[in-house]
């Protein structure tokens, strides 16, 4: 089963059944509440998107890249399952991030 998710940047993102099962998990859904741009929204009020939509866009772009490589003959020997794994990896690449994680990356000093 494939569903369409509307996206303001990519318009329609086609999500395959295996990816939809990943999107429907609590672990993935929490990305709706993790800001992609940290505190940037305080300066740029429109900078409010979350890692949820970023991850969907990464999934979409992985599919675009795979299709282009296939059209050019570069993926003649790549199994469709491997292509699905690449797209799933793109979808899940931010699952382990916590809120404001990139904003806090520079501060690695030990706690007092």
- Decide if 80 is inside a domain: yes
SS (H, E, C) 24-66: CCHHHHHHHHCECCHHHHHCCCCCCCEHHHHHHHHHHHHHHHH
Q: What does the pLDDT read at residue 77? A: 76
In a domain, 108, yes or no: no
Residue 24 domain flag = yes
Of 29, 14, 18, nearest to 95 (Cα)?
29
Other CB atoms within 10 A of residue 40 CB = 14
In a domain? residue 90:
yes
What was the pLDDT predicted at 20? Answer: 97
pLDDT value of residue 107: 58
pLDDT by 10s per residue, the chain, length 112: 899 999 999 999 999 999 999 999 999 999 999 888 888 899 999 988 899 999 999 999 999 999 999 889 887 777 889 999 999 999 999 998 766 666 666 655 565 5
Is position 49 within any domain?
yes
Nearest to 90 by CA among 6, 15, 39: 15
Q: How many domains does the chain have?
A: 1
Say which CATH number the domain at 91 has.
1.10.3210.10
Asked if the structure places residue 48 within a domain, the reply is yes
For residue 11, give its domain range. 3-100
């Amino acid at each position: 089963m494939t569903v369409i998710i509307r996206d303001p940047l990519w318009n329609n993102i086609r999500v395959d059944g295996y990816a939809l099962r990943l999107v429907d998990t609590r672990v993935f859904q929490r990305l709706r509440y993790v800001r992609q741009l940290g505190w940037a929204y305080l300066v740029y009020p429109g900078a409010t998107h979350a890692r949820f939509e970023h991850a969907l866009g990464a999934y979409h772009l992985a599919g675009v890249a795979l299709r282009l490589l296939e059209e050019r003959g570069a993926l003649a020997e790549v199994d469709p399952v491997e292509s699905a794994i690449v797209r799933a990896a793109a979808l899940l690449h931010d699952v382990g991030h916590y809120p404001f994680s990139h904003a806090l990356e520079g501060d690695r000093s030990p706690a007092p």
